[in-house]
Amino acid sequence: MRRTPVQQRSADRLARILDACAELLDETGYEQLSTRAVAVRAGVPIGSVYRFFGNKRAMAAALAHRNLDRYAARITARLAVLPAVDAHAAIDTVLDEYIAMKRTVPGFALVDFGVPAPGEAGDDDPNHLVADRLCELLAAPLGRPADETLRRKVLVGVEATDALLQLAFRTAASGDPALIAETRELLYAYLAPSLS
């Protein structure tokens, strides 16, 4: 982002821009997305969009970061109400919240945690960002350190889950239940021993 909002009015405007971006992604796709259309949908001057973002890629990247923050908040809230957090509960929480967001959050189908276009030099790998955030969120409730072994195991789990859920959502618009079940089984078998 070119500028981080300091005043509430600017933060509200930024939220409207990202909301409009998400809605338009669902309606038109990434290729047809334009900063002008986002400005019109958000009800803001085009200059307001350019005040925050240099182009549509930067805008979509900001939406992806917001999605990751919201995903982390949802996981944290769910873990907080569980009587006990074990490996299977942690895996279920992480997987179920992702699937819920995929089904209900505007724009998430195209821009979950990364931009759907080839990256430029310096772009962060979305799956690494997700794995790092999940390690931070899960280590304390599971009573284990967020060490390199856990980070590597969670990264492998994230990469595998990403590929399998892409297949599940290509197979059925709301995610093929059998493929989602297979993904859960794979995570239980591979990741649960590392989380215990």
Q: 3-state secondary structure string, 157-179?
A: HHHHHHHHHHHHHHHCCCCCHHH
Q: What is the band of 107 on the pLDDT scale with cuts at 50, 70, 90?
A: very high
pLDDT of 120: 54
Contact 180, 167 (CB under 8 A): no
pLDDT of 5: 75
Contact 82, 89 (CB under 8 A): yes
When computed from its CA atoms, the radius of gyration of the chain, rounded to whole angstroms, is 18
pLDDT in tens, 113-154: 998 766 554 457 899 999 999 999 999 999 989 999 999 999
Q: What is the band of 3 on the pLDDT scale with cuts at 50, 70, 90?
A: confident
With b for 16 or more beta-carbon neighbours within 10 A and e for fewer, the 170-192 pattern comes to eeeeebbeebbeebbeebeeebe
> HSE on the CB side for 114, CA within 13 Å?
14
pLDDT in tens, 47-75: 999 999 999 999 999 999 999 999 999 99
pLDDT in tens, 87-103: 999 999 999 999 999 99
> Global pTM?
0.91
